[in-house]
Structure 1
Amino acid sequence: MFASVLSAVILGMEVYPIQVEADVSDGLPSFTMVGFPSAQVKEAQDRVRTALKNNGIALPPKRITVNLAPADIKKQGAGFDVPVAASILAAAGIIEKENLYGVMMAGELSLNGEIHAVSGILPIVIRAREEKCRFCMVPAGNMKEARLVPDMKVIGVKNMKEMVCFLKEPKSYKEDLYQEETLPASEILDFSDIRGQESLKRAVEIAVSGFHNLLMIGPPGAGKTMAASRIPGILPPLTFEESLELTKIYSIAGLLSSTDPLIRKRPFRSPHHTSSAQALAGGGRNPRPGEITLAHRGVLFLDELPEFSRRSLEILRQPLEERVVHISRVSGTYDFPADFILCAAMNPCPCGHYPDMNKCRCTLGQVSRYLNRLSQPLLDRLDLCAEAEPVSFGSMQGRKGETSGEIRKRVEKVHELQKERYKNEKIQFNGELKGKQIEAYCKTDSQGKALLEQAFDKMGFSARAYHRLLKLSRTIADIEGSDLIKKNHIGEALSYRAFDKKYWI
């Protein structure tokens, strides 16, 4: 007899429905799986057979064939155990095969019949809703994550006996009451902890207001990392749609918390400088999100920027421009979202004290080699460069500055202004402006235009650097509440783009 049930496979960020078909027919006893299964999926036949035996369910001594359709998509992961078991039970006549119509399932079986949680449940449940399934059956350990999808009935099962019971009579399922756990509030890092460094804090506020990329240069211990770690505190809170989008990414990566799966805070990713290019961009045989994608809607902080390998740094160029990571494999092309603020920090030389010749022990050749680890195309994609001044005793004893809450109010005001301005465009922030949009929204007065022309000729800007200067000026004008970009706005933007004249030699 033939039976089938829906499951799904995740390739990149896309979810593909898979029809798990089973046929139990006369012939020599055997168990065959076809349909391009990976070795991991093929192991399901042993897990399913043993789990059924240990739960008192005896399969008839017949020929069992399981097909995973479509056959041109490679099936990976342990999430096919439960749908394979259900389809075999229906094909063997133990449960009614009609009960599997319009049902999507996923889960991993243990040898004693327990059903374990798997990664990627949230996008699978979302796909089940798109396929208009009657309900979705998932491991009980994934229920908190699965319940984030509105308007979709989800059944959580702990073991095979529960699975058989609810498949025979889905209406008998009574949902457990999951109490929302109140997690202890994590320590909030506040900008008021930073004494002095007003120009650095101003640059950070501008970068966050327009979603611009930021580079901080200064000696060791000047507060670069301290400022970067406080950026999430001045970013506006996530909307529910953004939270769901981030939760989907982290679900695929297998990084969700079992107690509170919904991502509620903007991500702040700070990979070590030994991270490989694949760790940053994502990859693998079945490509998974990398640090760039995990920082989506938040901040990617690269400390000690020149210490990263050249290959790792150059891989940032395309995501910074297109806000998406394209990964090509023989099996297909995968797109991962990459809309993030790049915040980088570095010392001006190996010892960290250049150009202070009283402290710097580096030769000009050493300084040059150190700085030239960053290519000009990458530097062009950094909108601001802020200098962190050496810390003095007086600044350490100074009064506290503005709190993160005060800065966040100004940032939210500028964000709302931009969202209203670009409501008919497919962008939200000044940092995303391209081509004709720059011409339309970055209007300057006559004095500003003259300053731009003079700066373009003298500073040798590339076209990309020029456009990024305009976008940065647009954000500064928005902070000042000006519809027109004026000379002083361009002047401040130029001060953040002149770093190569001081350090790069």
Structure 2
Amino acid sequence: MLAKTYGSAIYGIDALIITIEVNVGKGSKFFLVGLPDNAVKESHERILAALNNVGKKFPKRRVVINMAPADIKKEGSAYDLPIALGLLAASSQLSTEHLHEFVIMGELSLDGTIKPIRGALPIALMARKAGFKGVVVPLENAPEAAIVDGVEVYGAHHLTEVCDFLDGTGTLQKFETQNIRKFHEETEHFDLDFADVKGQENIKRALEIAAAGGHNVIMIGPPGSGKTMLAKRIPSILPPMSLEEAIETTKIHSVAGLLKKKEALILHRPFRSPHHTISDAGLVGGGPYPQPGEISLAHNGVLFLDELPEFKRTVLEVMRQPMEDRVVTISRARITVEYPAGFMLIAAMNPCPCGYYNHPTKACTCSPGTVKRYLNRISGPLFDRIDLHVEVVPVPFKDLSEAPPGESSQEIRKRVTQARKIQEDRFRNHPKIFCNAQMSNKDMNRFCQLDETSRTLLKTAMEKLSLSARAFDRIIKVSRTIADLDHSENILPAHLAEAIQYRSLDRETWGD
């Protein structure tokens, strides 16, 4: 007898429907075909033990299981449940009336308990797109899948529960679509706040500009000056994620298996801070079966690289193309996948190996030329993709002890959100541009017109400050964001002057 069940394979951050065909006929051998990996092949032993322990029988006849389409590799243990149900249906131990209505996934324990899987959200999205009535997933994954409306989501804890549900003799817990309004209310709460930061008003201003325009930032200063503390608070001033952004971000973390228990939807923009010993594949993604890397896990959020010169140069260089394209393509012999990589880069570094170059009170002990060599660990093309260079100076004791609380993140966030709305209207007819930092030269010529006074100011700055040519476009983009924060339709000389001061590392004399 032939029976069909339906599962799903994760391809990048999306899912594909997998048809599992089980045929029980004359003979005594077991065949599992359709390009399964070792984890899928091992399902035979898990399913055999699970069926025996719940009072069901594994067919003692010739069993052929085909997982179609056969040219897509099937990975992981999440196919245990649909294969087991197919075996029961093909051996007349389970009704086949409702099998075609559901996409079913889950890993089986030897006692029949169903364990959590990865990628429940993209599976539910694909089930809705393919016209299935619903999905049956492990109980722990059901809240995540229930984000998707238009498809019924059932959570199962044990194999017998699913069998009774399909036979019509029992029920499964049905999860309703989550209240999206509640999610938006919860996005306003943050554990970290800019009000906790004493002093550093000029740095806060630079980070506000970066958040408003989606600009990349590098902070350079001695140890203890507050670089990491400031960076960790950047998500609190970024605009709230839209529902589409939240779902896309959740899909990435779901595929990577990083969603926390009972976390149905990622509410806040991600903040990823990998250690400087990270590998190329760890940063951009990869592995035998490609998984998203840190730049994809930071999609729609912040990637913070502390102690930037300590990262391997090859690791930093592989990040250059994704920074421009906002997507990373990982190619292997049998598979090519794309992961989103639209992140905001925040980098921090000491000015020299000892850390005290340009310190107001402590002397630098580095030999001549060391500062320049330390800075040269970071390539020019990478610096070219960083819009704001900010020097962070330690806060004096008086400011730490007597300064009143600073401006709250909520107040800064309001200004940032208003500036982003201006950009949203500006780029309404440009689907691939979401903020000022992503403008091309053509877009700059259209939206960043300079008057004669501003042109003269920029020319003078380029000459007198020995700014490099690559600083030109970055200065104009940043000045456009400053104008948006000021609700100015045109870029004024004051906006340009402020943008110029954020290119300190482009000065040819810096570090000499």
Mapping for residues 40-119 of structure 1, pairs under 5 Å: 40-119=39-118
In the alignment, is residue 167 of structure 1 matched against residue 166 of structure 2?
yes
SS of 1:364's equivalent?
coil
The number of aligned residues is: 502
2:96 is aligned with what amino acid?
A: K
Q: CA deviation at 1:358?
A: 5.5
Q: Distance in 2 between matches of 1:53 and 1:170?
A: 20
SS of 1:21's equivalent?
strand
2:499 is aligned with what amino acid?
A: A
Q: Distance in 2 between matches of 1:136 and 1:383?
A: 45
Q: Distance in 1 between matches of 2:30 and 2:430?
A: 55
TM-score normalised according to structure 2 size: 0.93
Mapping for residues 17-416 of structure 1, pairs under 5 Å: 17-27=17-27, 29-169=28-168, 172-173=171-172, 175=174, 188-356=191-359, 359-396=363-400, 397-416=402-421
TM-score normalised according to structure 1 size: 0.94
2:436 is aligned with what amino acid?
A: N
Q: CA deviation at 1:140?
A: 1.4
8 Å Cα contact 1:293/1:337 also seen in 2: yes
Cα distance per residue 1:230-273 (max 9 Å; x no partner) = 11111122222221111111110111111222111111111111
1:44 is aligned with what amino acid?
A: S
Q: Distance in 2 between matches of 1:156 and 1:192?
A: 43
Q: Distance in 1 between matches of 2:169 and 2:320?
A: 51
8 Å Cα contact 2:277/2:312 also seen in 1: yes
2:192 is aligned with what amino acid?
A: L
Structure 2 CA distance for partners of 1:79 and 1:291, relative to 1, 3 Å? same
Q: Distance in 2 between matches of 1:360 and 1:504?
A: 12
Which one is further off, 397-406 or 59-68?
397-406
SS of 1:377's equivalent?
helix
Q: Distance in 1 between matches of 2:11 and 2:463?
A: 48
1:377 is aligned with what amino acid?
A: P
Q: CA deviation at 1:335?
A: 1.2
8 Å Cα contact 2:34/2:67 also seen in 1: yes
Q: CA deviation at 1:112?
A: 1.0
Structure 2 CA distance for partners of 1:473 and 1:72, relative to 1, 3 Å? same
8 Å Cα contact 2:156/2:173 also seen in 1: no
SS of 2:209's equivalent?
helix
8 Å Cα contact 1:11/1:287 also seen in 2: no
Q: Distance in 1 between matches of 2:102 and 2:19?
A: 11
Q: Distance in 2 between matches of 1:168 and 1:197?
A: 66
Identity %: 46
2:430 is aligned with what amino acid?
A: E
Q: CA deviation at 1:499?
A: 2.1
Mapping for residues 490-505 of structure 1, pairs under 5 Å: 490-501=496-507, 502-505=509-512
8 Å Cα contact 2:467/2:506 also seen in 1: no
SS of 1:437's equivalent?
helix
SS of 1:58's equivalent?
coil
Q: Distance in 2 between matches of 1:453 and 1:54?
A: 80
Q: Distance in 2 between matches of 1:324 and 1:232?
A: 21
Q: Distance in 2 between matches of 1:246 and 1:263?
A: 7
Which one is further off, 466-475 or 30-39?
466-475
Cα distance per residue 1:378-421 (max 9 Å; x no partner) = 00100001111132222223233212122111111111111121
- Show the counterpart of 2:439: 433
SS of 2:475's equivalent?
helix
SS of 1:345's equivalent?
strand
Q: Distance in 1 between matches of 2:365 and 2:240?
A: 45
SS of 1:101's equivalent?
helix
Q: Distance in 2 between matches of 1:307 and 1:176?
A: 47
8 Å Cα contact 1:192/1:401 also seen in 2: yes
Which one is further off, 491-500 or 130-139?
491-500
Cα distance per residue 1:426-445 (max 9 Å; x no partner) = 12211111232221111111
Which one is further off, 192-201 or 288-297?
192-201
Structure 2 CA distance for partners of 1:188 and 1:176, relative to 1, 3 Å? closer
Structure 2 CA distance for partners of 1:283 and 1:296, relative to 1, 3 Å? same
8 Å Cα contact 1:222/1:391 also seen in 2: yes
Structure 2 CA distance for partners of 1:395 and 1:309, relative to 1, 3 Å? same
Q: Distance in 2 between matches of 1:375 and 1:335?
A: 26
Q: Distance in 1 between matches of 2:429 and 2:373?
A: 46
Which one is further off, 196-205 or 163-172?
163-172
SS of 2:369's equivalent?
helix
Which one is further off, 442-451 or 118-127?
442-451
Q: Distance in 2 between matches of 1:389 and 1:172?
A: 64
CA-based RMSD: 2.3
1:484 is aligned with what amino acid?
A: N
Which one is further off, 44-53 or 166-175?
166-175
8 Å Cα contact 2:161/2:171 also seen in 1: no
- Show the counterpart of 1:16: 16
SS of 1:97's equivalent?
coil
Q: CA deviation at 1:187?
A: 6.3
Q: Distance in 1 between matches of 2:96 and 2:329?
A: 41
**Structure 1 residue ranges without an equivalent (≥5):** none
8 Å Cα contact 2:118/2:257 also seen in 1: yes
